[in-house]
Chains A and B, each alone.
Chain A
């Protein structure tokens, strides 16, 4: 069942006055639509399944696994073909796997999806993390059916955001994410879940309102009365209007990323969400903000981005240091990782503020890197919590003696998060610093201090939780099970591999960044 294709046929069958530019898919096979919409099929299947016994629960979980794995697998194929076969040969920038069908011709909205060097890594990231999150949710016991239904619906929204090339479609995917995540925190969260869920909801709704407003203004003032992102990105606006729109979009994405001082929903939501949802929040949902900033704020309004570069730099540096110091002070491991996210997302913003090819490349790379690394860290926190039933750093101690495999994984994860060479985070941060130093000397130097802070809080936490004398309460803890080890070390393997061999990925990103920076230079 392929809904968009149906829509396309229908759209073609309707004798409407609207013309469809480039109405045929370049690939013939609706790859991206499958990646985006297959989870919907899974969600509908789950809706039909009974939900009474353990057996039924097992079946629901299997369906969720299958329908998150297939999109991941399809994305792998797309990445493999693009990166290892076509890159530099038949592909040198631009959008791939495009599908463009008439959808709401009267209003100039199309069903238009495609990926380029910025979005392809993020699609890979999100399909991977959804598969991992499903695996990490296998021990869910309460309201299993609703949980996996919502997880799959969330999947549609997130992958959709990264593939949409029509601004209305982008907005709709952006919104699909809202309600499932709200309910996932509200129902399956920790003690303060109600507070955290409503806070998340209110912040996100505010962000959406800004986004919708900005889209509408752009639609009317852009001159073309279209929602096509490639067309809109070329629209010439008066500097004042461009600046206003830049900040409206920025407000929306800044809430999501999050940027200091709009970050306060994040620690609450991350801490109260169930483990798999924390992984997705930190790993994928924040990336929607970063992606939007690069694709829309920088891509559509290069002049404004350049003009306000210092203001953004300030926000970035404050965020990096604020998040770092706050992480240092936390006793809750999950809260600490949450604040480290604030700090690390500051690096993305730093890259965006510098606007050099290298820094922007690093920003995209950091989105990918942080997604995998921090996703892993939240998984690891969850594994500790499942066993010890506490995340308090001061209560834990000496866990290494009972859980060697988990400890090794933690050490690898923490070092990757610090940005040790050889891991994916290093590549990203190095690119960002190198790229932004030329533009902002002092700001970059201050930001580098954030790395020192991250070494501080992560290593200090490792020492207190895993090393030192074993506390008696933890004498009976056991190492993770086989499937937990599988996804845990699988993630870390990716962290290592992309860290050692980043070349292809940076080249891919570069093809998408180059046109952006060209426009920056020209304006």
Chain B
């Protein structure tokens, strides 16, 4: 390992060190006997500040890496790759982590005296995700996936006092372990057939040896199936509603954006390297999965009353739309367009979801629940929080001119261009159906009668998080070209 390698890993190393620093700092400033109200504020502020600084430093390191040409793009004998695709994902993962920390700022109070561990775990999970999107070798791929997952298992169950949280943590662990096993099995078959663990080498072997072997199809299904757990796609989606509802809201937000984004990053990488020779097979498989996933998500969401559960099903539905974009990736002519659209979608979906969960968190702090009934009339006193929640719901529906529309539109375009008009049509109908449940939230906020309430107040940390969300939802549409361009650059990188 040379110094150059260390430079390539700088973003990850900075973040991992920051996580350790946060924990160590926590040991000194957070103590068991500070249990009176409000005493957790100072250690929390310090830990959050350290974490945010670390994230910014990590982003800075990425900026340097992008501009520098001297740094080689491969490390560890080609197992770790540092192309624009990986950097795009690393950047949005770090941004997601920052926003999550901000969203959780006040809520972390409940975790005393483990506030700093909570923040450190978010950072560690992010490091795992960053390795995932850079992985080009099966073992690294699996280890980084587990790094992310294990941190998440702990985070989901972090609210030790709550039975829902513990139950969610247990379910998440069981389903997660099962899907990891499925993934590992798929990888093992691939290794057995080709004798290689590097994704590119596997692709070469597969392409050379013909790809009609049933074992290969099985391996493909297992790999995609195992990763379906991370992206909340059918058939590994059952954990979603329970975990979304049970986990602490900032963790739910984090799972719905970071874990998914890393999952997509890995999936796109695998599909475009090891499994690329089999693109005809996985295109059909994914098309079916996309259709089923979006229908299941949208139809089940219609009857939900807990908004966090509703967001869980919404997350499944959106997984369906994104997979539709992945289907379009199979066609070489539309691949760049499709990946660009998907990356843009992931960025937009992530920021919108963070805004939604942030606002939901604030509403929960004010009203004590996340049911539609406890949202009733919250918007009547005005204020920014219900407005952000309403805007993010409309954006998730895909109502122009909010950014969610553009994300969907690009994916639809890509799908139609690749010849999957029928799938786009299903998605269009689904999208119309989804407006019913998203608008239920808006209606609860603004039109339903609720008990007299004081206007919700939130701290500066939450304001920053919500502000980032609103900036993403509204004006980003006008400047979408910039981001689409970046996403296309990243897409071109993974296809090379």
Cross-chain contact A106 with B399 (CB below 8 angstroms): no
Cross-chain contact B478 with A7 (CB below 8 angstroms): yes
Cross-chain contact B401 with A14 (CB below 8 angstroms): no
Q: Which residues of B contact A78 (CB under 8 A)?
A: none
A167 to B313 alpha-carbon distance, docked (Å): 32
Q: Least Cβ distance of A223 to chain B in Å? A: 13
Q: Give the contacts of A202-244 with B (CB-CB under 8 A).
A: 205-206, 209, 212-213, 216, 219-220
Known: A7-B479, A201-B439. A106 touches B428 (CB 8 A): no
A14 to B409 alpha-carbon distance, docked (Å): 22
Cross-chain contact B481 with A105 (CB below 8 angstroms): yes
Known: A175-B399, A176-B400. A14 touches B481 (CB 8 A): yes
The interface size bin for chain A is 35 or more
A70 CB-CB contact with B under 8 Å: no
User: How many A-B contacts at CB < 8 Å in the complex?
Assistant: 76
Q: Least Cβ distance of B435 to chain A in Å? A: 6
Q: Which residues of B contact A220 (CB under 8 A)?
A: 416-417
B480 CB-CB contact with A under 8 Å: yes
Q: Least Cβ distance of A179 to chain B in Å? A: 6
Q: Which residues of B contact A497 (CB under 8 A)?
A: none
Cross-chain contact A107 with B413 (CB below 8 angstroms): yes
A354 to B389 alpha-carbon distance, docked (Å): 49
A219 to B443 alpha-carbon distance, docked (Å): 35
A265 to B382 alpha-carbon distance, docked (Å): 30
The interface size bin for chain B is 35 or more
Q: Which residues of A contact B443 (CB under 8 A)?
A: 186
Cross-chain contact B481 with A16 (CB below 8 angstroms): yes
Cross-chain contact A187 with B446 (CB below 8 angstroms): yes
B394 CB-CB contact with A under 8 Å: yes
B424 CB-CB contact with A under 8 Å: yes
Cross-chain contact B400 with A172 (CB below 8 angstroms): yes
Known: A14-B481, A104-B484, A106-B488. A216 touches B424 (CB 8 A): yes
B482 CB-CB contact with A under 8 Å: yes
A11 CB-CB contact with B under 8 Å: yes
How does the 8 Å CB contact mask read for A91-113 relative to B, with 1 for contact and 0 for none?
00000000000111111000000
Q: Which residues of B contact A105 (CB under 8 A)?
A: 481
A178 to B481 alpha-carbon distance, docked (Å): 25
A146 CB-CB contact with B under 8 Å: yes
CB closest chain-B residue, reference A172: B400
How does the 8 Å CB contact mask read for B402-442 relative to A, with 1 for contact and 0 for none?
00011001101100110000001100110010010001000
Q: Least Cβ distance of B75 to chain A in Å? A: 30
How does the 8 Å CB contact mask read for A3-14 relative to B, with 1 for contact and 0 for none?
110110011001
Q: Least Cβ distance of B442 to chain A in Å? A: 8
Q: Which residues of B contact A179 (CB under 8 A)?
A: 394, 399
B340 CB-CB contact with A under 8 Å: yes
B485 CB-CB contact with A under 8 Å: yes
Q: Least Cβ distance of B459 to chain A in Å? A: 20
B447 CB-CB contact with A under 8 Å: yes
Cross-chain contact A172 with B382 (CB below 8 angstroms): no
Q: Least Cβ distance of A269 to chain B in Å? A: 16
Q: Which residues of B contact A10 (CB under 8 A)?
A: 479, 481-482
Q: Which residues of A contact B401 (CB under 8 A)?
A: 172, 175-176
Known: A172-B405, A216-B416, A220-B416. A3 touches B394 (CB 8 A): no
How does the 8 Å CB contact mask read for A154-197 relative to B, with 1 for contact and 0 for none?
00000000000000100110011011000100110000001000
Q: Give the contacts of A13-32 with B (CB-CB under 8 A).
A: 14, 16
Q: Which residues of A contact B337 (CB under 8 A)?
A: 106
Q: Least Cβ distance of A351 to chain B in Å? A: 30
Q: Which residues of B contact A102 (CB under 8 A)?
A: 481
Q: Least Cβ distance of A345 to chain B in Å? A: 25
How does the 8 Å CB contact mask read for B72-93 relative to A, with 1 for contact and 0 for none?
0000000000000000000000
A171 to B401 alpha-carbon distance, docked (Å): 9
Q: Least Cβ distance of A188 to chain B in Å? A: 10
CB closest chain-B residue, reference A209: B432
In the complex, the 8 A-B pairs of residues with the closest C-beta atoms, listed nearest first: A172-B400, A175-B400, A7-B478, A172-B401, A186-B447, A209-B432, A106-B484, A104-B481
Q: List 24 A-B contacts (CB under 8 A).
A: A3-B478, A10-B479, A14-B485, A16-B481, A16-B485, A51-B382, A104-B406, A106-B340, A106-B485, A107-B484, A143-B380, A145-B382, A146-B446, A168-B409, A172-B400, A175-B400, A175-B401, A176-B400, A179-B394, A179-B399, A209-B432, A216-B412, A216-B413, A219-B413
Which A residues lie at the B interface, using CB under 8 A?
3-4, 6-7, 10-11, 14, 16, 51, 102-107, 143, 145-146, 168, 171-172, 175-176, 178-179, 183, 186-187, 194, 201, 205-206, 209, 212-213, 216, 219-220
